[in-house]
Each structure stands twice: as C-alpha cells, then as structure tokens.
Amino acid sequence: MQALLLSLLFAVALLAAMGVKFWLASRQMRHVAAHRNQVPPAFATTVTLAAHQRAADYTLAKGRFGLLSTAFATLVLLGWTLLGGLDMLNGWLVATVQPRWGDMAYQLSLLATFALIAGALELPFDLYNTFRIEQRFGFNRMTWRMVAADTLKGLLVAAVIGLPLAALILWIMGATGSLWWLWAWAAWTGFQLLLLVLYPTVIAPLFNKFEPLPDESLKARVQSLMQRCGFAAKGLYVMDGSRRSAHANAYFTGLGAAKRVVFFDTLLNKLSPGEVEAVLAHELGHFKHRHVQKRMAMVFGMSLLGLALLGWLSQQTWFFTGLGVQPNLLAPNDALALLLFMLALPPFTFLLGPLAARSSRKHEFEADAYACAQADGRDLASALLKLHEDNASTLTPDPLYVRFYYSHPPATERLAALRLQGA
C-alpha cells in the first residue's frame, strides 16, 4: 500500500512539475512575442529595435527548445523509475559485476554506468543548443574537436574526483551504522570546501587559459577598488572565454587565501574601464554582504536534511518498490538508494525554486546598491545595459516567469532601482 501511494504521488508530482514548466514557458514566449515589435519606453533611446527583436527571437528559440528538452527529461525520469529502467540496469550489474568484483565495485559501477547513460541521453540536446541555437545567434565559438576534448576532460575529472568521493560515501553508509548520514554529510561538506580551493588552480585550467590582467591602468583601478572594499585576492586573471562563447562575465572563485578575480576576455572587450570597475564593485557587494556564505550555509543545511531523510528512506522497502526498483537481497542497496533519491527528489521540491530565486534577486539588488556606493552607478547602469544587449537578454520577460525562475532581476527592475539611487 505504501509503495502504491509513493508511485502515485511521484507520478502526480512529476506530471505537475512538467505541466507548470510548460505553462510558465508558454506564458514567457507569448509575452515576449507580444512585445517583440516595440522597444520598452525606458530603453527607447538606448536599445535599437533590431537588438530588441534579436533578444526576443533568441528567447523564443530557447523557449521552444526548452519545451522539447523538458518533455524528454520527464520521459527519461519516468523511464528510469516507474517504467523499470534503473531496475533493469541494477539487475544486470548485480548479476555480472557483484559476484566477480565484490560489493564496492558493483556499487561504483552502478553510479558510473548510470552517469554515462544519462550523459549520453543529454548529449544530443547539448549539441543542438550549442551548434544550432547558440550558433544561429552568433554566440557559439566551440568546435567539434573542442567539444570532444571537453567531454574527455570532464570524464577524467569525474573519474579522478567523483569515484573516490562516491567510494567514501558508500563506505560510510555501510560502516557507520544508523547515523551514517551525519558522517556522510560531514565528508561531503569537507569535499565541497576543498573543491573551492582546488577548482581555481587545478580544475579550471584544464578547460580554459588564465593569464594575469595585462592592462596596468585597469589593474591599478581594480586593486584600488578592492582595497577600499577590504577584499584580498590572490590575483587578477583574464580567462579566454571567447574560445567557447561570445557571452561575457566576471566572477570570484576560490576560498580563503586562494580567492581570485576572473574576467572573461569578452567582458574586457565590451566594457570601458569604469564599467569594468562597476561590475567588479557589484561582485564585491556579494562579498561584503556575505551572500556566498549565506548560500553555502543554505545548501549545506538542505543537504543535511536531505541526507537525514535518505537515511530513513533507505531502510524502507516501499521506497524502492514504489519507485520501480526491487531492492537487492544479496548485495548492498546504498548506491541504489542514492540514485533513487536523486531521481525522485526534484519533482517534489520543484515548487521551492521560486523561494531560492527570490532570495537571489534580493542579493543582486543589495550588490547593485553597494556598487553604487563604491563606484559610479552610471557606469554600472551602462554596463548592465550593454551586457543585456550583447547576451540577447529580453527586456520584456513575463512577470510571473521572472518570479519563478530569474535569479537576477530583469533589466527594467535593476535599472529602475539604480535610478532611484541616483545612478
């Protein structure tokens, strides 16, 4: 009875999540299409009609593609769970790997094989997005050789880092008793913090080149800003983002003494020194308001709750059978429980997304206000406008779609807030 109830709840949550996604995407596309032929009055003197229509067309193309990928992802998730895909994969590996190589090899092979199959199913959509949509609108700089190289590097990093972490978590699940989830959370949290230190110097350089900021005048300006804001970084770097995309960005990475500031070369090519300083001041606003720490604390807290829930569910037979899988009798079920939990959780937590998006938008407004206090707000406003135009971000999104999905406020709201602050 409990298994049947879980199957029903999961099916309802899965279909409801897909229905809400389709409804919101349809609203977004209708709203953007309805405003395609007129630039919003607030931007009439700064954005051309051609640029506005390009942004609308890009949004519509991404929206139509998003409907297809959402439907496919829902079918795949249904196939893995209630239609028995994961049960078939698990049964085959239990019969072929576990008797010969043991429990740990079987469990790692289950996680790795699942990840490879899931990646292969997503690959055609990633390629279409890159070589058709991004290519059509002039953003893509990737080649097939680069895609192949990135894929191989990604698999290597996943094997070198992911498999040992998975082995550690599985060992903890099997060896530390009923409170395994607490020890697993401590191990996962420690790994995430270690990754923040290793990523800038070990992982990121595998995919991009990072060179010290060559412009001495801009470097002096940026260092003066960071000094005023009390921010210490290990270095200022330029990343060759233009090798892969025409999109522009800047970010902080690392933890503690390993922090570094990274500018995309595309950003430096598009913005004036004053605008670059204003964008960096915005990023420093996140640092000053401890937004990163707050988000990390929220993620760590949610992961603790999730692992505690998994600790209970993994002991319930109906958790497995209700999601289309027969638990193992002669092999451990830890890896199977991890996969099922990761598959089943998103439909049930989908409606929590707007809360996280709202918090993120609030942080963006706070960072903008801080940037206006440390740099020229007019430079920040012009930089935001340039980045919106260069990235083909629509100026007329559907308000409800914004509230549900947008982690950054739309341009109209951000620029209106900047005007109120005297920018």
Among all residues, which ones are annotated catalytic? 283
Residue 286 CB partners (closer than 8 Å, separation 6+): 252, 292, 363, 367
Strands 210-212 and 236-239: antiparallel
Token couple for 186 = 């401590």
Distance CA 387, CA 264 (A): 12
Q: What are phi and psi of 171, to 5 degrees?
A: -65, -45
- Interatomic CA distance for residues 341 and 226, integer angstroms: 43
Q: Is 13 left (phi over 0), alpha (psi -120 to 50) or beta?
A: alpha
Whether 52 contacts 385, CB under 8 Å = no
Is the separation of the CB atoms in 262 and 280 below 8 Å?
A: no
- Residue at 169: amino acid letter: I
Closest CA to 390 of 284, 249, 274, 240: 249
414: CB partners within 8 A, 6+ apart: 364, 365, 368, 384, 408
Residue among 278, 232, 285 nearest 385 (CA): 278
CA separation for the pair 396, 51 (Å, rounded)? 13
Q: Are 332 and 102 in contact (CB under 8 A)?
A: no
